[in-house]
Chain A
Amino acid sequence: MSDPRRIVLPLTDEMVAELRAGDRVLINGRLLTARDAAHKKMVALLQQGGRLPVDLKNQVIYYVGPTPAPPGRVIGACGPTTSGRMDAYTPALLATGLKGMIGKGFRAPEVIEALRRHRAVYFAAVGGAGALLSRCVKAAQVVAYPELGPEAVHELIVTDFPVVVINDIYGGDLYREGRRQYAVHQ
């Protein structure tokens, strides 16, 4: 395992070009959160020719619905949710300039192809490590769709938020490669 590489958002084409499947990355800066309901609303808006409530150009979306922050805390548990549920919406958001996504689990072939076409990257965070990941979040506020409750779009300011590159722009796929390395053929 290589040492993690520290990056500061926003994510540029040059930064994306340097990332390869399997790279461990510590993310710093502003993440936007969105999951099922927010994706549905944003893509419906784009289809109607509307403008998104937040500009996604060079941004990274984190697929998460945090637990409520207990008193004295910035946020509750905030680990990644399953990315595949967002696959139907992702190519449309990548077309607006979105450069990265953090979640967990497989992406559809159409998303992997869209990553290559739009030069964007898919990261995974450790699923179920919601308490550990909450320590990297220094500030959190709702920036769109407050009516969606845990599914509202939040802005998270993170420090050294640990992720690993799953799909890069070169067709690299850590899920496929990792499994191949450890599979025992019976």
Chain B
Amino acid sequence: MLEPDVLSAIGQAKEREVSPTGRDILAQLEDNASLAARDRIPICQDTGLTVVFVEVGQDLRLTGGSLEEAITAGVRDGYQKGYLRKSVVGHPLVRENTGDNTPPVIHWRLVSGDRLKISVVPKGAGSENMSALKMLKPAEGLEGVKQFVVDTVSVAGPNPCPPLVVGVGIGGTMEKAALLAKEALLRPLGSANPDPVLAEVERELVDRINALGIGPMGLGGRITALAVHVLAFPTHIAMLPVAVNLNCHALRHKTAVL
């Protein structure tokens, strides 16, 4: 199911799209979302590899078994009972389906307090496959970062099912940048980046991406990105990592705090 922030972004995109084909596709995506909600079937058949972000309060004491096993059991149960597709192979080279969509990819974080926060973001392959990471030279600077983001979307073209949400992670190390790019996708659409420098970068990137002309489903149009979300982290004096995690319009995310 699509969350209200994504649906409202698609609705606004339909008002702004100049291509008749593009508008028609955006209208179909709205119809698809309401039909999926009504009939209780997934909006997209790629119900993803389950990515889970867990924040564990350090004052919390968990009893009764392993939290990792509990999350895995939840994924198994949800994909079975929810008639979702089992899209996971147990070994990336042997490639046999595990049959229950496990294991999930879990990112853990220990935080202050006594709450447990779980965010589930099933990630489809179409957009994940077109994502990219590059270790830039610091001399390439902000323009190098922007160019890499725009180039990644340009090369991806129709493949990741535009209109996209583009998550960008800048800084840290190689894996930190990738994680930031994924975390950036969790921010609700339509909300402003609290960092004014990054907010300006996001605005420029949206304009440059939409000037590519790729459009909804790559058939031509001015709405290629619904939003660009950027997160940054301190980095090494000799490094400028940048990761671009693309997400299709079927951005599914749900957070619960226990």
Task: Tell me the A residues contacting B by CB distance below 8 Å.
Answer: 1, 37, 64-70, 73, 76-79, 81-82, 84, 104-106, 124, 126-132, 134-135, 148-151, 164, 174-175, 177-186
Q: Which of B81-97 contact A (CB under 8 A)?
A: 83-87, 95, 97
| Cβ-closest chain A residue relative to B99 | A149
Known: A73-B41, A178-B218. A129 touches B158 (CB 8 A): no
B213 touches A128 (CB 8 A): no
A-B pairs with beta carbons under 8 Å apart, 22 shown: A65-B45, A65-B46, A67-B42, A68-B85, A73-B41, A76-B83, A77-B36, A77-B85, A79-B44, A79-B46, A82-B125, A104-B126, A104-B217, A105-B158, A127-B161, A129-B28, A129-B29, A129-B44, A130-B43, A148-B97, A150-B86, A179-B215
* Structural contact, A178 and B21, CB atoms closer than 8 A: yes
B77-117 contacts to A, CB under 8 A, are 83-87, 95, 97, 99
How many Å lie between the Cα of A138 and that of B21 in the bound state?
27
Known pairs A77-B41, A105-B159; list 17 more (Cβ under 8 Å).
Answer: A67-B85, A76-B45, A79-B45, A81-B126, A82-B129, A104-B126, A104-B218, A105-B158, A106-B159, A127-B126, A149-B86, A175-B219, A178-B19, A178-B219, A178-B220, A178-B221, A184-B222
**A79→B44 CA distance, assembly (Å):** 6
B173 within 8 A of A: no
B249 interface residue, CB < 8 Å from A? yes
Q: A82-B125, A127-B217, A131-B32 are in contact. Are A183 and B41 (CB under 8 A)?
A: no
Beta-carbon contact of A128 and B214 below 8 Å: no
Given known A-B contacts A77-B41, A105-B159, A67 and B84 have beta carbons under 8 A apart: yes
Contact A106 B85 (CB under 8 A): no
A106 to B20, CA, bound (A): 22
Within 8 A of A (CB), among B20-55: 20-21, 24-25, 28-29, 31-33, 35-36, 39-47
Interface size class of B (residues with CB under 8 A): 35 or more
Determine if A67 and B161 form an interchain contact, defined as CB atoms under 8 angstroms apart: no
Decide if A70 touches B40 in the complex (CB within 8 Å): yes
B35 lies within 8 A of A135 (CB):
yes
- CA of A131 to CA of B83, assembled, Å: 13
| A106-B161 Cα distance, complex, nearest whole Å | 11
Check if A131 sits within 8 Å of B36, measured CB to CB: yes
**Roughly how many angstroms separate A142 CA and B56 CA in the complex, as a whole number?**
44
A95 to B222, CA, bound (A): 38
| Minimum Cβ distance to chain B for residue A78 (Å) | 5
Whether a CB of chain A sits under 8 angstroms from the CB of B208 is yes
Is A149 a contact partner of B97 (Cβ separation < 8 A)?
Answer: yes
The 4 closest A-B pairs by CB, nearest first: A178-B220, A183-B213, A182-B213, A131-B36
Most buried by B among A68, A73, A105: A105
CA distance A183 to B224 in the complex (A): 11
Bound Cα distance A37, B86 (Å): 14
Answer whether residue B18 sits at the interface, using C-beta atoms and an 8 A cutoff.
Answer: yes
Q: Taking A82-B126, A84-B159 as contacts, is the C-beta distance between A69 and B83 under 8 angstroms?
A: yes
Residue of A70, A77, A84 touching B44 (CB-CB under 8 A) = A77
Q: How far is the CA of A106 from the CA of B36 in the complex (A)?
A: 27
List of B residues within 8 angstroms of A126 by Cβ: 25, 28-29, 32, 217
